[in-house]
Structure 1
Amino acid sequence: MALASMSSDAEGYDGDIFEIEDFTIVTIKEGLCAELEQLLRKWELSGDNGNNYSFTKAKLAECQWDSKYDKITYGNNHLIVSYYWPKNLQRIEQATKSNAVNMDASDSFLSNAARLFWSSETDFCPGSIICNQFGVLEFILLTPSDWHFDRVSNEDQLRGLLSSITESAGKAGWYRFCYHLVVSYFYLRIIPKNYIKTSCGFNAAYSAQCSLMDEKNLRISMQFDYVLQDKPHYAFPKKNMVIEEEFLPAEDTSIIDISHLPFGATTNAIEEFGLSAIWSNIERGIAVEEQNLSNLDPQRALAFSTWVSIEKNASYLMSSCLRKLLEIAESQEGSDLVQKREYSRDDASRALSSLLSPTVPENISIRSTDRVINESDLEPAIIRHWIDKVFEKTKQEHALPSCNTSCNVDFESACSMGKTWSPGPGSAVKNVQCSKAYRAEGIKEDGNTVDICQKLSDILSACKSAPESSLTCRISIALAQMLCARDHSSAGFSHLWSAITHELQEYYERNLYVPGMDECVAPDLSTCKFHQNLQLLQCSIEAKKHRESKNLFIQKWQLCKSDDEFFDAPESLEDGKEISREESDCSGAEGRLKPFGTLRLIHYPDRLMYEPVTQSRVPVTEDMLEKHTEYLASLKDPEERVKAQLEPLFSDMEAFKAANPGCCFEDFVRWHSPRDFIVNDENTGEGRLSSRMTGEGNAWQQTWDQAQLKPACRQKLLFDDLKAANKIISDFENLTVSKLIVYILPVLFKCASIQLVDEFIAKLYFDLIGDKLLNLCKKVLDCTRSNALEDYLDAVKDITQIEEVVACCNVLYTQLVSAADKKLTEDEKREIQQFVMMLLRSNEQNYENAANGGKAGAGYRVPIVHGLCGPVGSALKNLFFGSSIKNCSNRTEKKTLEQILTGDEDMPYRRRQYIIRCDARRPTLGSRTLPQRLYAAISKEEYRICLTLSSDTKMLKV
């Protein structure tokens, strides 16, 4: 200590200042103890209530672990301190701890952790390697922060670390540590030949450490883990998978199925399917297991459990296909134009004959004659086969004549310009209702299930996509399958799209309805843009048929009429309806549909007002509507903006004048816009126009003055079908790969969701994927509306998870059902389904808790309630131990007990685990009896022994 004085008037100093120099050194151990003590107090870990829980074997099988951690310093090393405890087990207060385990009052000195050694309920505890090996439920782990630089490298460091832990726990008043236990741990990666491999050998080694044991209380628990040798495999479903053989033309056209996306795992998705035979808490003399002798039969074990692990890097067909589409759309390849193929008339006729003829003519060419032929292009016969499947062609359709198929239509179809429903293809769209009805019938009367399915149906119906089973879906799925096919990806994709575009043009030119699309339905703006364009093309075909039919009728009418004759158009408008002729003063009326109620013309009260035949409104797509809106916005003059929208009104006015000679503007308003005619007298019908229809420069009035008396059949068509069709085909031919993929993405993602929903309903996987599927459908709904690739990528992740679960459930269920010795009832099949779902759920728990145990621990298992006797147990017995009833030739021979237990290379077990417990006095004869425990695990990959010994130590106060 040094004393120094300074002047009191020195600025910044107060009187005398004492400087203390402390030469005390804080050791590494003291620093570690201080940090640990502070951490334990921070976590509020005090008292002797640790490892004191109320549980059963069943509760422990579903044990879920929680943890918290912090970092401390030990010299130059950094350690992670993690505190683990079971969060779903009920903790018992210290006052009632004597009720937890049935122990004598003389054993009250034991800690709660030591009491757990008496209980066989903790044997092979799932989820935690520490609980499985040392029998405790609540513990603290110290691990290196960096396993390379911070590891404890020698025995002195380890002993110092253990001493610091004991000291800090005592200062913090925390007694969860079994500080009076000596823990030994032995681990080898390779098993030496002369090492112990049986329960008898472990008993001998155990007795050497506990020489004063009471052998009457010695208990043994054993678990033998078997892994299925002939692993389940998922064969490629030919109906949903594009393989190289499918590119070959075949008589069986059902080889290509473009109604669904490919589904399932590309390789074996099941990494391990295991069965555990368990003997729990048996006496020493019951189980005899020596090097060359054993009385243990795995099929007669006291209990059984199973587990399954899924291959983490497995790929799945549906999600891989969608992911590849997204990757190409974002890549440089996506900016390229889809190969445009020029067709001359000769080439087009030859290509068309190749598609419509059942035989393959020579020298077929649907490629451009102006470019070099790419060797990667598919053969025309293969493309023809795909086109036939996309457009659902049959041999009868190949023989359709090339002449106009809509010439012989009646006059009503020719001049009405309204909706007509001619017979033709399009029934595929109607299959949607049947599909939905089938789904509804397959759902059992379960409130939650029906609610989920209804929610899924409502969400998918709101997607901005296309109807299920429509041509849009078939084209999208065919393109996706072709792009993801091996060896034919980019070339086949371009070639198929060019052929589809050419085929759509042929349908328009030949006046044939496009199959899989409803006829004469205006584009639905709630669907995707691709489907809207196909609907517009269908409307163009309908309009072309009407136009050509009208021209044919006019030609026939002109040939038949004389100079003095006039045929009134309404005479043959509708079958079964007769419209009385008016007086001679209105005999010149044309284009009448029916009387408009009882209204009469204002200037001619003796004449009825007739509703005219008008042209149908111009069908527009979302893109056309956006362009029209932009055009209107570009017009600065309001009058020009109004005039740009008056073309349909002008056509209606001309048709009204033709149907009602002598009518006035007020008559037209009463028919077209009744709200704009204000009636003054209900009896006489007298009234006046609203303010909207009056005033100087009124656009309606001006349009009325310009309109001539002209029926709809002689008017200029509002909808130019040729221009619309050419625009659609031209846009299709000039799409980039990325744009085309974006076109079909909404359709594909909805189809993928529908497939998963079908699997969800058919296999009743409600508890397993119900919530996941609901979230996926919501994401798909958002994707189809935003059309952002980032949203699609996020949805693909969910599709991968669901496809993984469903595919693994399907293969496990098929494997178990096929292994049954009898025909299963519906209840037995349902029991197997529930068992499979429990297996997959246990795998998810294993994955979430890998940090706590991994494969070194027991992991989460599914117990088999009825052993190997029920439907599940008998199927597992046949799978793992062979069946003499079926599939004997396809299974490996049953191993003898010597082969099972001696450890030769052909042994089928994956791991053997032993737990031995007894009472023993340590370290002397006068010590109190304490619990002792040994855990051992033997497999081909590891040899692990964990020995936990209790010693009776008394601390004397000096």
Structure 2
Amino acid sequence: MAADSDPESEVFEITDFTTASEWERFISKVEEVLNDWKLIGESSKKTPDKGEYTSGLWEEKGDEVLFADFKFSIRHHYFLQEACEKEEVEDIGEDSLPVATQDLLSTNNDFPPIAHCLVRWYGLREFVVIAPAANDAVISESKCNLLLSSVSIALGNTGCQVPIFVQIHQKWRKLYVGECQGPGVRTDFEMVHLRKVPNQYTHLSGLLDIFKSKIGCPLTSLPPVNIAIRFTYILQDWQQYFWPQQPPDIDALVGGEVGGLEFGKLPFGACEDPISELHLATTWPCLTEGIVVDNDVYSDLDPLQAPQWSVRVRKADNPQCMLGDFVSEFFRLCRRKESTDELLGKSAFEENGKEAADISQALSKLTEPAPVPIHKLSVTSMVHSARKKIRKHRGGDESPLSNEVLNAILFFLFPDAKLLDGSEGKPSSSTGNIASQFENEDYHLYSQLKSAPLDSLTYKLALCLCMVNFYHGGVRGVAHLWQEFVLEMRYRWENNCLIPGLASGPPDLKCCLLHQKLQMLNCCIGRKKARDEGKKASATDFSSDKSPNRTANDPGESEKSKYEVGKSWDSWSDSEDEFFECHSDTEELKESGQEATKKSSSKDDSKEPLVLKPEGRLHQSGNLTLLSTGEPLYIPVTQEPAPMTEDLLEEQSEVLAKLGTSAEGAHLRARMQSACLLSDMESFKAANPGCGLEDFVRWYSPRDYVEEEVTDEKGNVVIKGELSQRMKIPNNMWVEAWETAKCTPAHRQRRLFDDTKEAEKVLHYLAVQKPADLTRHLLPCVIHAALLKRLRKISRPSRRL
């Protein structure tokens, strides 16, 4: 009794039957996903039109669910379709079939060419697929039945009428089983894979027998069955047939023959057949079982008599195509880190020890300049000497590019090289003529891609580098060609040879930055060439204007001649940072007012106006006259504004933005931006002695000079003008610039555009470019060329097709 009454000896076991199992959690998660996707209850949609599955849009969304530690992916595939009208919704009763069952009975969209396999097999417009995640597979029969039970319970609990399929076995088999539930009806989807099809199921009559037995209809006389038939013939071997497109001549391209290379064109074509299979489908879209006969003895289904034929092409996986390989290999250069020096050895731009200047003699060279005659070297000799230096620095290594290939590329890029051999060299033709030949959308495609115009030097350089990278040495060949290109740019700058294949004028900001840099260098060459020609012309005029009776012993005449001609152009060096500064008024008037100023002592004589000699006149500006003197107003010769590339514009914007918003910063910003205005004012003063700010504004900014009719004291109507209100603002920059401006013609002003400095900056920018940087600059040009090549092939198909 004592033992029975001991409370510690009593054990109570409590079992909690409310704890959910892994199976229940899985079903609950599936139901939760169906609720989130709003697939609960009935859905009303109109019957899709014929062929709408092919022309419409399909979408899918997915989620993941867990069964214990096994992960499944659940995907919802559906066809985008407008919602059904309210009138059609009211007609749907409780006994209406689910949408999936209606799709099974519809023949409007049988055999869609591009769709999910379940759409092709069952004609469904909406379904859900549960499949193992990653590469796992559900193989055992017990697990398949467990998943089907889970799907059936989830459909019953939620009232979802969208069919749910479960993918079993390996994914490559595309084996699905599924279920669809509706009010009073349930549809089971089953599939069977057979190694060998039984003979009785290889024709229509056998398939009809198994179809009727599966339906199990108790009626003795069944209605006729509607049939849609398609036979597909697969062709996998057509070696005996010719390709529609002629394959590229690989041997000529890689055999080292220069004659087989076309540097201005990208290759096009496949090195192997890009088509693996050709499917021919013969279709009978809608038939009744009594119309045709197809059994093991006789068949009415002759493919030649089929009402519909269709062809489908299955492409090979990653076939080797010339255009794609070229662009891909060129794009891979963007990831390279090596510089040109690392690829080719010590920099070829550095002079050797004998040619290098001794630092101890630097000052003596500056103070004792010795004119060295510059021989007019030809492009060929210049490239030859540069190549000798490159070989010396490489230590005798073989060059990536042979002489034959390199010369062919250089003559392709610079067609004027043969004209420059032993001659002065005529100015390069711009791309203006090229543009007139390609006035179409394809030519102007470069502005959308920020590439370069067709047949421009930049465009051709990109194609040559792409060809060299693929066939001639890869990245080392690219570095070699680029080094030769930079040497050619240096030669043309030093010898005043314009660069061919570049449009005249300032850099085109619609093009890539490298093209802008080359245009900038061409502008520098043009300015330097024009200035040198002006020096020669001035020297010739000076020598021809000398009178025989003038002697060097006359100091007055010699001083006067010195002023009229100006300082000798040959005494100035373009490589030095020296410019012609504006002379003072006294120095300007040596001829006309120097003696009068020295001899005049009375008050009246000192007030006499000094007579200035006009300089730098272009032409007269219509009927305009100076307000103070009544003399005709002349348009002066002005300096052209400095051309700028997009990186220089960005740098200038950053500098101006850093000045801040203070009054001092705004004033400094205005002065920095008024350099061109100050130069034009000085030119205007030199061309129109005695002019005022009002005269300058009338020519430079007519809107800022307001004229109105007034009546004078005598009653006559006269026109009176004055500056606009913005010109009268205190501390106006125009007024300050006018008061600061000196009377200096454009040819004696400090240059707004220092072509020597800018050219050296461009040449340094080109020399420090790595092959990867160069590739990033030219990649838009290569893509541009590839697009044009593809468009031309589409517009001009092969005659063999």
Q: TM-score band, normalised by the shorter chain?
A: 0.5 to 0.7
Q: Does 1:58 align with 2:51?
A: yes
Label 1:655 to 1:237 Cα distance change in 2 as closer, same or farther (>3 A): farther
1:276 corresponding residue in structure 2: 281
Shifted more, 525-534 versus 380-389: the winner is 525-534
Separation in 1, partners of 2:501, 2:638: 28
How far residue 247 of structure 1 moved from its aligned partner, in angstroms, is 5.5
Q: Write out per-residue CA displacement over residues 100-133 of structure 1, whole angstroms, 9 at most, x where no aligned residue.
A: xxxxxxxx99988778776655754663434544
Q: Which amino acid letter does the alignment assign opposite residue 544 of structure 1?
A: K
TM-score, with normalisation over the residues of structure 1? 0.55
1:741 corresponding residue in structure 2: 775
**2:678 touches 2:738 (CA, 8 Å); kept in 1?**
no
1:386 corresponding residue in structure 2: 409
2:348 corresponding residue in structure 1: 341
Of the three residues 246, 250, 253, the one matched with 1:244 is 253
Report the secondary structure of 1:482's partner residue.
helix
Of the three residues 398, 401, 417, the one matched with 2:418 is 398
1:377 corresponding residue in structure 2: 400
Q: Does 1:548 align with 2:532?
A: yes
Separation in 1, partners of 2:733, 2:131: 90
How far residue 436 of structure 1 moved from its aligned partner, in angstroms, is 3.3
1:558 corresponding residue in structure 2: 542
How far residue 698 of structure 1 moved from its aligned partner, in angstroms, is 7.7
2:475 corresponding residue in structure 1: 490
Q: Does 1:479 align with 2:465?
A: yes
**2:380 touches 2:421 (CA, 8 Å); kept in 1?**
no
How far residue 274 of structure 1 moved from its aligned partner, in angstroms, is 2.1
1:153 corresponding residue in structure 2: 140
Separation in 1, partners of 2:752, 2:541: 23
Structure 1 unmatched ranges of 5 or more: 1-18, 99-107, 407-422, 441-456, 570-582, 764-809, 820-958
Q: Which amino acid letter does the alignment assign opposite residue 402 of structure 2?
A: E
Label 1:718 to 1:697 Cα distance change in 2 as closer, same or farther (>3 A): closer
Report the secondary structure of 2:480's partner residue.
helix
2:493 corresponding residue in structure 1: 508
Q: CA RMSD in A?
A: 5.8
Where in structure 2 are the equivalents of 1:247-326 lying within 5 Å? 248-250=257-259, 255-258=262-265, 268-279=273-284, 280-281=286-287, 283=289, 286-288=292-294, 290=296, 296-311=301-316, 313=318
Separation in 1, partners of 2:59, 2:785: 40
**1:532 touches 1:621 (CA, 8 Å); kept in 2?**
yes
Greater RCO structure (CA 8 Å; 6+ sep):
1
Of the three residues 632, 638, 651, the one matched with 1:608 is 632
Label 1:125 to 1:93 Cα distance change in 2 as closer, same or farther (>3 A): farther
Of the three residues 191, 201, 212, the one matched with 1:185 is 191
**1:196 touches 1:202 (CA, 8 Å); kept in 2?**
yes
How far residue 540 of structure 1 moved from its aligned partner, in angstroms, is 1.9
**1:365 touches 1:380 (CA, 8 Å); kept in 2?**
no
How far residue 504 of structure 1 moved from its aligned partner, in angstroms, is 2.5
Where in structure 2 are the equivalents of 1:863-882 lying within 5 Å? none
Q: Does 1:732 align with 2:766?
A: yes
Q: Which amino acid letter does the alignment assign opposite residue 482 of structure 2?
A: W
How far residue 63 of structure 1 moved from its aligned partner, in angstroms, is 6.8
Separation in 1, partners of 2:96, 2:754: 98
**1:513 touches 1:538 (CA, 8 Å); kept in 2?**
yes
How far residue 89 of structure 1 moved from its aligned partner, in angstroms, is 8.5
Q: Write out per-residue CA displacement over residues 715-760 of structure 1, whole angstroms, 9 at most, x where no aligned residue.
A: 665544344333322321222233333433455556666667x569
How far residue 33 of structure 1 moved from its aligned partner, in angstroms, is 7.4
Q: Write out per-residue CA displacement over residues 6-38 of structure 1, whole angstroms, 9 at most, x where no aligned residue.
A: xxxxxxxxxxxxx99765898888887777778
Q: Which amino acid letter does the alignment assign opposite residue 281 of structure 1?
A: L
1:933 corresponding residue in structure 2: none
Label 1:243 to 1:697 Cα distance change in 2 as closer, same or farther (>3 A): same
Separation in 2, partners of 1:113, 1:500: 68
**2:348 touches 2:393 (CA, 8 Å); kept in 1?**
no
1:332 corresponding residue in structure 2: 337
Separation in 2, partners of 1:701, 1:32: 86
Separation in 1, partners of 2:392, 2:332: 32
Label 1:152 to 1:194 Cα distance change in 2 as closer, same or farther (>3 A): same
Separation in 2, partners of 1:486, 1:363: 24
Label 1:350 to 1:191 Cα distance change in 2 as closer, same or farther (>3 A): farther
Q: Which amino acid letter does the alignment assign opposite residue 556 of structure 1?
A: T
2:568 corresponding residue in structure 1: none
**2:386 touches 2:487 (CA, 8 Å); kept in 1?**
no
Label 1:341 to 1:208 Cα distance change in 2 as closer, same or farther (>3 A): same
Q: Does 1:537 align with 2:521?
A: yes
Separation in 2, partners of 1:63, 1:604: 81
Report the secondary structure of 1:611's partner residue.
strand
Separation in 1, partners of 2:97, 2:761: 88
2:435 corresponding residue in structure 1: 432
Label 1:318 to 1:557 Cα distance change in 2 as closer, same or farther (>3 A): same
**2:244 touches 2:800 (CA, 8 Å); kept in 1?**
no
How far residue 398 of structure 1 moved from its aligned partner, in angstroms, is 0.9
How far residue 276 of structure 1 moved from its aligned partner, in angstroms, is 0.7
Shifted more, 531-540 versus 332-341: the winner is 332-341
2:602 corresponding residue in structure 1: none
Q: Which amino acid letter does the alignment assign opposite residue 117 of structure 2?
A: I
Q: Which amino acid letter does the alignment assign opposite residue 370 of structure 1?
A: H
Separation in 2, partners of 1:740, 1:148: 47
Q: Write out per-residue CA displacement over residues 647-666 of structure 1, whole angstroms, 9 at most, x where no aligned residue.
A: 75675566445544566777
Q: Write out per-residue CA displacement over residues 249-296 of structure 1, whole angstroms, 9 at most, x where no aligned residue.
A: 22x87x2225xx6667676554544221124535478444549x7664
Report the secondary structure of 2:533's partner residue.
helix
% identical equivalent positions: 24
Separation in 2, partners of 1:65, 1:665: 72
Q: Write out per-residue CA displacement over residues 572-595 of structure 1, whole angstroms, 9 at most, x where no aligned residue.
A: xxxxxxxxxxx9998954433223
Separation in 2, partners of 1:275, 1:223: 10
Structure 2 unmatched ranges of 5 or more: 1-12, 162-180, 356-374, 551-559, 566-591, 594-609, 711-717
How far residue 354 of structure 1 moved from its aligned partner, in angstroms, is 6.4
TM-score, with normalisation over the residues of structure 2? 0.64
How far residue 386 of structure 1 moved from its aligned partner, in angstroms, is 1.4
How far residue 490 of structure 1 moved from its aligned partner, in angstroms, is 0.8
Separation in 1, partners of 2:675, 2:129: 81
**2:616 touches 2:637 (CA, 8 Å); kept in 1?**
yes
Q: Write out per-residue CA displacement over residues 184-212 of structure 1, whole angstroms, 9 at most, x where no aligned residue.
A: 53214x54898965556656766887899
2:165 corresponding residue in structure 1: none
Report the secondary structure of 2:481's partner residue.
helix
2:617 corresponding residue in structure 1: 592
How far residue 425 of structure 1 moved from its aligned partner, in angstroms, is 0.9
Q: Write out per-residue CA displacement over residues 221-270 of structure 1, whole angstroms, 9 at most, x where no aligned residue.
A: 5422223443996868869x9983486322x87x2225xx6667676554
Q: Which amino acid letter does the alignment assign opposite residue 522 of structure 1?
A: P
Separation in 2, partners of 1:118, 1:220: 11
Separation in 1, partners of 2:112, 2:704: 82
**2:478 touches 2:771 (CA, 8 Å); kept in 1?**
no
Separation in 2, partners of 1:56, 1:680: 75
**2:694 touches 2:722 (CA, 8 Å); kept in 1?**
no
Q: Does 1:470 align with 2:476?
A: no
**2:60 touches 2:77 (CA, 8 Å); kept in 1?**
yes
Separation in 2, partners of 1:138, 1:646: 69
Report the secondary structure of 1:54's partner residue.
coil
**1:466 touches 1:531 (CA, 8 Å); kept in 2?**
yes
Q: Which amino acid letter does the alignment assign opposite residue 58 of structure 1?
A: G
Q: Which amino acid letter does the alignment assign opposite residue 378 of structure 1?
A: L
Label 1:494 to 1:603 Cα distance change in 2 as closer, same or farther (>3 A): same
Of the three residues 339, 343, 352, the one matched with 2:379 is 352
How far residue 362 of structure 1 moved from its aligned partner, in angstroms, is 13
Q: Does 1:499 align with 2:506?
A: no
Q: Does 1:223 align with 2:199?
A: no
Where in structure 2 are the equivalents of 1:407-806 lying within 5 Å? 424-426=428-430, 428-437=431-440, 461=447, 465-483=451-469, 485-519=470-504, 521-525=505-509, 527-563=511-547, 589-600=614-625, 604-605=629-630, 607-625=631-649, 652=680, 655-656=683-684, 658-660=686-688, 700=737, 703-704=740-741, 707=742, 711-713=745-747, 718-745=752-779, 747-748=781-782, 763=795
Separation in 1, partners of 2:758, 2:251: 35
